[in-house]
A and B are shown apart, each in its own frame.
Chain A
C-alpha cells in the first residue's frame, strides 16, 4: 500500500496556517500547499495505476467504511487540473492581504478535491457541503467588509446549494437504505419509483452543474464575488459536479438533452447581459453544457471529450475571469456600458483575454480546439440533430466573445491609431504572472495535446489536426464573424439586467415574506390578543364570580344584540344601551376580591351548614355501602 497524503487535506489544513504568516513569507507559504498537493498526486500516480481501481485511506464510520482516497484515472485527471488551476489562481491572488479570503479559497479548493477523491457517498456529501459553505464565504468577501449586494447574493447562493445538498442527502439515505451500500459508483437509471434515490442524487448533481432551470445561482452570485474570488469559483463547483455526473450517470440520455439546452441557453443569456462578469458566468453554463451532453452520450470518445473539455475549460475560463478581474482591479468597472478603451493601457490583460477568448471559441492552436472536438465527434456519431445544435452553440461561443470584445471596446476592427485616454495600467506583477502561466497552458495543450490525452481515462485515438477539421472549424468561425459584422448593431448593450429562472423565486420569495410580515403576523397578533382577553376575563371570573358573571352576561348580550340594533332600533337599542352602561359600570370599579362584608354570624351559619352536609353525606355513605 502506497503511503500518500490526500491533496484535499493539504489544502484544507494548509489553510489553517495562513494567518500565522505575514508579508513575503505569507506569499511564499501560499504557494506551498498547491506544490505539495501536486507532488502528492505525482507520487500516487506512480504507485496506483498498476492495480486499478486503487483505494487508500479507509476510515471506519458507524457500520460503514469511508473511502477518502479513491484513486483511478478519472479522479486523477480531475485532481491534476484542480491542483494546477489552483496554483495558477493562487499566483494570481498573491497580492491579496486578507488571510481569511485566502483561507476560504483554500478550503474551497480542498473540498472540491475531496469530492473528486471521495470513494463513497458519505465522504462525497461531507466535502460537497463544505464546498458550498466555503464558496459562500468567498462571495461574501466582496469589498472587504462585504457589500450589501454580495451579501444578499451569497445568501441566495447558499440557499440554492443547501437545498440541492439536502435533496442529495435524501437521495443518499434512500439509496443506502435500499441497497445497504455507500459505494459511489454508477447509479441505475430508468423510470419508476424504485429509481427514486437515483433521481434525488441526480437532482443534487445537476443543481451544482448549473443545469437550467437550476442554474440561476451561478450568474447571480459569481459576479458578486471579489476579483479573485470569481476566478476560483469559475473552476471548481461546476466541474466537480461534472465529475460526479461522470461517476454516477454516464450514458443517461436525459443529460444529452439537458446539456444541449444548457449550451444554447448560456450563449443567448450571455449575449443579453451587460455586466461582463455575469456574461462570463453564463458562458460557464454554456461550456458545462457541452460536457453534460458528452456525459449523456457516454461513449469512450464522448467521455474523453467531456473530461478533456473540463480540463481545458478550467484553464481558459479561469484565464478569462482573471483578465476580467484585472480590468475590474484597474478600473473598478465591469459593465460594457461603463467601460472605455483600455487595450493601450493594459496590453497584457488584453493579450491574455484574447488568448482565453480564442481558446474558448475553439480556434486551432488553442486548447479549446483539441478538447471540445472529441465531444463533437461523438455527438456526430450519436445523432445528427444533437451535433447540429451543439455546433450552433459552439459557433455561438465565438459570437459571444466577439460581442464581449466589442463590450470591452477592444480594438478588433478599430484602427491602431486610436488612443486610449484612461489612466489605467496592467495589474500587479503576480496577477500578470498568474494569467501568463494559465495562458501558456492554454496554448501548450492546444499545440501539443498529447500529455492531456495520456491523462484521459480511456485510450485516445483522436487526431485533432486534420485538414478537413481545421478548415471546417475556421470557416465556421469566420462566417460567424461575417454574420456578426452584419448583425452586431442588434446586440447593442443596454444598461439593463436580464431576468432569469430565479425571478419566480425572488418575486415569490418576496411575496412570501410580505405574507409572513403582514397578513400572517396580524392574524397571529389577533389570536394572541384574543387569547389574552379570554385569559384576563377568566382571571376576573376567578377573583370575583359575581362581577365576572355580570360582565360575561353584558358582553354576550351586547354581542347577540349588536346585529339587530340598526333594524329594530326602538326595541333593541335601549336594551343594548343598558348592557353597555352596565359593562362600563362594572369596569369602573377595580376588580378585586368581593368587598361586601358579611356579619360573622352568617359565616358561622355557613360553616355549620357545611359541616352538617358533610355529616349527612358520611352517614348516607355508610348506609348505602354494603
Chain B
C-alpha cells in the first residue's frame, strides 16, 4: 500500500473544495431552496462567506494581538513594582 503523504491529503482537500462549490451552485440551480436570507440565493455564497469570515477573524485577532498580548508574568510584575 502506498503511503499517504501530506501532498495527497492536500490534493484530496482541494478536490473536496471544488466538489462542494459545485454542489452548492447546483443545489441552488436545481433544488431552488427557500432561504430566509436573500444573500443565500447568491451562487457560492457559503463558500465565499466561509473564506471571508475566517480571513477577517484571523486578521482581527492578529491585529488585536499586538495590543493585548502581554508577557506571561504581566500581572505578577505589576504586583512586584511597589
Q: B residues within 8 A CB of A486? A: 55
The residue in chain B whose Cβ has the minimal distance to the Cβ of A274 is B72
Take A413-B6, A471-B24, A476-B47 as given contacts and tell me if A483 and B64 are in contact as well, using a CB distance cutoff of 8 Å. no
Is there an interface contact between A391 and B53, defined as CB atoms closer than 8 Å? yes
- A468 touches B (CB below 8 Å): yes
Shortest Cβ distance from B45 into A: residue: A472
A88 within 8 A of B: no
Instruction: Report yes or no: A472 in contact with B46, Cβ–Cβ below 8 A.
Output: yes
CB atoms of A380 and B13 under 8 A apart: no
**B72 surroundings in chain A (CB, below 8 A):** 495-497
B31 contacts A396, CB within 8 Å? no
User: Which residues of chain B are within 8 angstroms of A473 by Cβ–Cβ distance?
Assistant: 46
Check if A497 sits within 8 Å of B9, measured CB to CB: no
B71 engages A483 (CB within 8 Å): no
The 0/1 profile, CB within 8 Å of B marked 1, for residues 475-503 of chain A is: 11111111110111011001111111000
Partner-binding segment picked from A110-118, A265-273, A603-611: A265-273
Q: A490 contacts which of B17, B33, B49, B59 (Cβ < 8 Å)? A: B59
**With A and B bound together, what is the CA distance between A472 and B34 in angstroms?**
13
CA distance A267 to B14 in the complex (A): 26
Least Cβ–Cβ distance between B22 and chain A, in angstroms: 10
CA A267 – CA B36 in complex, angstroms? 26
A478 touches B70 (CB 8 A): no
Q: Taking CB as reference atom, which chain A residue is nearest B82?
A: A514
Chain B binding surface SS class:
helix
Do B47 and A497 touch across chains, with their CB atoms under 8 A apart?
A: no
Q: Is the CB of A483 within 8 A of B33?
A: no
A478 touches B68 (CB 8 A): no
Q: Mark B28-39, 1 if CB is under 8 A from A, else 0.
A: 100101011111
Closest CB-CB distance, A275 to chain B, in whole Å?
Answer: 9
Given A475-B50, A487-B54, A507 and B78 contact (CB-CB distance below 8 Å): yes
Instruction: Say yes or no: B53 contacts A268, CB within 8 Å.
Output: no
Smallest CB-CB separation from B21: which chain A residue?
A475
Query: How many A residues touch the partner, as a band?
Result: 35 or more
Chain B residues 54 to 74 lying within 8 A of chain A, measured CB to CB, are 54-62, 64-65, 68-72, 74
CB neighbours (8 Å) of B40 from chain A are 472
Which residues of B have CB within 8 Å of A474? 20
CB–CB B50/A477 < 8 A: yes
**A427 CB → nearest B CB, Å:** 27
Query: What residues of B have a CB within 8 angstroms of the CB of A179 in the complex?
Result: none
A491, B61: Cβ atoms closer than 8 Å = yes
Shortest Cβ gap from A232 to chain B (Å): 26
Contacting residues, chain A, for B33 (C-beta < 8 A):
466-468
Check if A534 is an interface residue, CB within 8 A of chain B.
no
Enumerate chain A residues within 8 angstroms of B31, measured Cβ to Cβ.
467-468
Question: Which residues of chain A are near B10, meaning CB under 8 Å?
Answer: 413
Q: Known A271-B57, A490-B59; judge A497-B69 contact (CB<8 A).
A: yes
Give chain B nearest CB distance to A154 CB in angstroms.
15
Q: Are A491 and B58 in contact (CB-based, < 8 A)? A: yes
A392 CB contact (under 8 Å) in B20, B56, B64: B56
Report the separation of the CA atoms of residues A413 and B66 in the bound assembly, to the nearest whole angstrom.
28
Q: Select which of A264, A416, A496 is within 8 A of B70 by beta carbon.
A: A496
A391 to B53, CA, bound (A): 8
Q: Give the complex CA separation of A377 and B40 in angstroms.
A: 12
Q: Which residues of chain A have C-beta atoms less than 8 A from B16's C-beta?
A: 478
Query: CA separation between A384 and B49, bound complex, in Å?
Result: 14
Do A417 and B13 have beta carbons less than 8 Å apart? no
A482 touches B51 (CB 8 A): yes
Q: In A385-403, which residues have CB < 8 Å from any B CB?
A: 387-388, 391-392, 395-396, 398-399
Task: Collect the chain B residues with CB atoms within 8 Å of residue A194's CB.
Answer: none
* Contact indicator B47/A483 (Cβ below 8 Å): no
Which of A391, A416, A487 lies in contact with B4, CB distance below 8 A?
A416
Could you tell me if A467 and B54 are in contact, using CB atoms closer than 8 angstroms? no
Residue A510 is within 8 A (CB to CB) of chain B in the complex: yes
Interface pair B53/A490, CB less than 8 Å apart: no
A residues in contact with B54, CB < 8 Å: 395-396, 398-399, 479-480, 483-484, 487
Residues of A contacting B68 with CB < 8 Å? 272, 498-500
Which residues of the other chain, B, contact A396 by a CB distance below 8 angstroms? 53-54, 57
The verdict on A506 contacting chain B, using a C-beta distance below 8 Å, is: yes
**How many angstroms between the C-alpha atoms of A468 and B13 in the bound complex?**
21
What residues of A have a CB within 8 angstroms of the CB of B47 in the complex?
Answer: 475-476, 478-479
A480 CB, nearest partner CB in chain B, Å: 4
A296 CA to B58 CA in the complex, in Å? 28
Shortest Cβ distance from B2 into chain A, in angstroms? 12
Contact of A381 with B36 at beta-carbon distance under 8 Å, contacts A395-B50, A499-B68 already known = yes
CB-based contact A272/B61 at 8 Å: yes
Greatest chain B CB density within 10 A among A381, A468, A474, A486 is at: A468
Tell me, rounded to whole Å, the shortest Cβ–Cβ distance linking B63 to chain A: 10
Contact A272 B64, beta carbon cutoff 8 Å: yes
Give B76 Cβ to nearest chain A Cβ, in Å: 10
Find B57's partner among A399, A413, A495, A498 (CB 8 Å cutoff): A399
Q: Is the CB of A476 within 8 A of B58?
A: no
Q: Are A475 and B46 in contact (CB under 8 A)?
A: yes
User: Is B27 within 8 A of A487, CB to CB?
Assistant: no
Query: Does A414 sit within 8 A of B, measured CB to CB?
Result: yes
Q: Is the CB of B20 within 8 A of A498?
A: no
Q: Is there contact, CB below 8 Å, between A414 and B57?
A: no
Q: Could you say which of A272, A475, A510 contacts B65, with CB atoms under 8 Å apart?
A: A272
Closest to A473 in B: B46
B23 touches A471 (CB 8 A): yes
Chain B proximity of A243: nearest CB distance (Å): 27
* 5 sample A-B contacts, Cβ–Cβ < 8 Å, listed by A number: A475-B46, A476-B46, A480-B50, A482-B13, A497-B72
Q: Which residues of B are in contact with A by a Cβ distance under 8 Å?
A: 3-6, 9-10, 13, 16-17, 20-21, 23-24, 27-28, 31, 33, 35-40, 44, 46-62, 64-65, 68-72, 74-75, 78-79, 82
Q: Which A residues are closer than 8 A to B by beta carbons?
A: 264, 267-268, 271-272, 377, 380-381, 384, 387-388, 391-392, 395-396, 398-399, 413-417, 466-468, 471-484, 486-488, 490-491, 494-500, 506-507, 510, 514, 518
4 shortest interchain CB distances as A-B pairs: A483-B54, A479-B50, A468-B33, A380-B36
